[in-house]
Structure 1
Amino acid sequence: MDHSYSNTKQHQKGKRLKLNDRTTIQELHSKGYSNRAIARELNCSPSTIGYDLKRGTVSVYRYKAVEGQSTYELHRSECGRKS
């Protein structure tokens, strides 16, 4: 972001989360960190954290990084132009 009042650092647009990012989300979420606090740690948007928490939640409010990564890979394999 170009604004001086922005709370996120500048990062590459369209950056995807990797498994180690999702592991960090899992650790910080289990410690009770908010989406904004996790986003500050990973240098991304709080909504990105929220989407990934929704993607990787498999049982009653338990986030699993591996499940989030596998769901991401499944969605990526199904996207794109159909032949």
Structure 2
Amino acid sequence: MRNIGIRPTDPLGWVVTFAELGTLGPRLLVRNHRSVDPIVGTGAANVSLTSYGKRISTVWQTIETIGAGTVKPHRLTPVAG
């Protein structure tokens, strides 16, 4: 998925954005089941995640996205709130 940091300005841009979001979950799920790569690495950042309520069921997508990055954080600490 391409995150360029701006909102789409035209209808086609919105359609593409929602199509990418709709395929993100299944792609991350497949990657999770097939990958043996660690989610942490040698990056300088430490990541602390806090989630609560309805978001608990989707926080795995955030964790998987971090793990799919090219620079992996030195530490990842999930905290249920």
Of the two structures, which has the highest relative contact order with CA contacts closer than 8 Å and spacing of 6 or more? 2
Indicate whether the TM-score tops 0.5: no
Q: Please state which structure has a larger fraction of its residues in strand.
A: 2
Larger radius of gyration: 2
TM-score (norm 1): 0.24
Q: Please state which structure has a larger fraction of its residues in helix.
A: 1
